[in-house]
Amino acid sequence: MTIIEEVSVPSPRDGDGGPLLEVRDLHVEFHTREGVVRAVNGVNYSVSAGETLAVLGESGSGKSVTAQAIMGILDMPPAKIPQGEIRFRGQDMLQMSGEERRKIRGRRIAMIFQDALSSLNPVLSVGYQLGEMFRVHHGMSKKDAKAKAIELMDRVKIPAAAARVNDYPHQFSGGMRQRIMIAMALALEPELIIADEPTTALDVTVQAQVMDLLAELQREYNMGLILITHDLGVVADVADKIAVMYAGRIVETAPVHELYKRPAHPYTRGLLDSIPRLDQKGQELYAIKGLPPNLLRIPTGCAFNPRCPKAQDICRTDVPALLPVTEQDGGELPGRASACHFWKETLHG
């Protein structure tokens, strides 16, 4: 009898060293009666295992639509993906069959939604909704699935899990409900989690608890995390890198702390300036002037030009590409890029 030497079989978690998820030149449009709404216009980003990417942007910037395209939960029609790739472990998910994608959903890529009350089914117990993951994806019996559900609720620190497993969503507090959403996303230990404004509906103290829990679980399972938010405060503590979106495009990417220190896009600068600060108490709060763009009629050139304090003629004609930015002396700034014709002035000025 030979003893087979232990070979290191690459587990799916290790992958091939490349990024876990790579979005390339993604376009999403909605065909409505008023015309074609171009919600996403060429988004590129990637996330590796264990990494947290924060996608920042105001309402209508396309951050949630991008996430839903990754999940494959856009209603098509009216949505359409005319162009782009979404590579998960190197495979383009847009080329997969519906059934192949369904098997990835929930099991390998999971999503946490903003409002846990409306995102949980009101007439099914939380135990049922959690257990459903195991029953559908692993073919577990009802009884085993319930035991797993209790385990999960314990995992996300819901007190007296065994007693509450048969309760319904409305019987939980907002924070506890969001924990159940997180538990549901974590159930099958996915490789990637997309959290779409997971704390927006919660009050501030609970926000911190939920974010800490999410970060802790992410480290433990070495998951990739895409955190979609418009809250710069939430991002600073947990994210590794940031992608700022505006009118369906990424306008700036940077490692988290560098972005806060030295933004390279006027829009990012505007966002940072509009955070209330203690040392400016009593002064009027800065606000980016103008309104978010109408996605039916995105301004020509740089979409931000009507609101930009630095806008020149070129901004009204040429769409700036997302290009790497450098130090004044030409030194590299890894991971940094900006889609502004005047990034130099913004970054170094």
Partner 1 sequence: MGRYVARRLLQMIPVFIGTTLLIFLMVYALPGDPVRGLFGDKGASPQVIAQLRHEYGLDQPILVQYWHYMRDMILHADFGTQVASGRPVTDVLGSAFPVTLRLAAVAFAIEIVLGIALGIVSGLRAGRATDTGILLVTLLLISIPVFVLGFILQLVFADQLHWTDPSVNDPTNYGQLVMPGFVLATASLAYVTRLTRTSISENLRADYIRTAVAKGLPRRRVIGVHVMRNSLIPVVTYLGTDIGALMGGAVVTERIFNIHGIGGTIADAITRREGTTLVGLVTILVLVYLLASLLVDLLYAVLDPRIRYA
Q: Which residues of this protein are in contact with partner 1, per CB under 8 A?
A: 71, 73, 102-107, 110-111, 113, 115, 118-125, 132-133, 136-137, 168, 170, 184
H helical segments located in 72-109: 98-104
Instruction: Report DSSP state, residue 300.
Output: S
- Pick 122 or 159: Cβ nearer partner 1: 122
**Cβ nearer to partner 1, comparing 161 with 181:** 181
Find the shortest distance in angstroms from Cβ 170 to partner 1: 5
Nearer to partner 1, 16 or 75 (CB): 75
Residues 6 or more apart from 28 whose CB is under 8 A from it?
A: 38, 39, 40, 62, 65, 66, 69, 74, 79, 80, 81, 248
Residue 30 C-beta: closest distance to partner 1, Å: 14
How many Cα atoms sit within 13 Å of 275 on the Cβ side? Answer: 15
Q: Is the dihedral of CA 18, 265, 320, 329 positive or negative?
A: negative
In the complex, the smallest distance separating the C-beta of residue 72 from partner 1, rounded to whole angstroms, is 8
CB of 136 to partner 1, least distance (A): 6
Nearer to partner 1, 110 or 245 (CB): 110
On whether the CB atoms of residues 54 and 239 are closer than 8 A, the answer is: yes
Q: How far is CA 190 from CA 31, 49, 194, 276, in A?
A: 32, 11, 10, 36
Nearer to partner 1, 136 or 140 (CB): 136
Smaller CB distance to partner 1: residue 138 or 157?
A: 138
User: The tokens 């995105």 sit on which residue?
Assistant: 298
Q: How far apart are CA 66 and CA 252, in angstroms?
A: 16
Q: Which residue has the tokens 């829990």?
A: 213
| Minimum CB distance to partner 1 smaller for 103 or for 257 | 103
Give the residue with the Cβ less far from partner 1, 98 or 309. Answer: 98
Q: Which residues contact 304 (CB under 8 A, 6 or more apart)?
A: 246, 247, 251, 266, 267, 311, 315
In the complex, the smallest distance separating the C-beta of residue 6 from partner 1, rounded to whole angstroms, is 33
195-218 CB burial, b ≥16 within 10 A, e <16: bbbbbebbeeebbeebbebbbebb
From the CB of 339, what's the least distance to partner 1, in Å? 30
**Burial of 298: CB neighbours in 10 Å, binned 0-12, 13-18, 19+:** middle
Min CB(110)–partner 1 separation in Å: 7
Helices (H) and strands (E) counted in the chain, each on its own, are 13, 12
- Measured from the CB of residue 128, what is the shortest distance to partner 1 in angstroms? 9
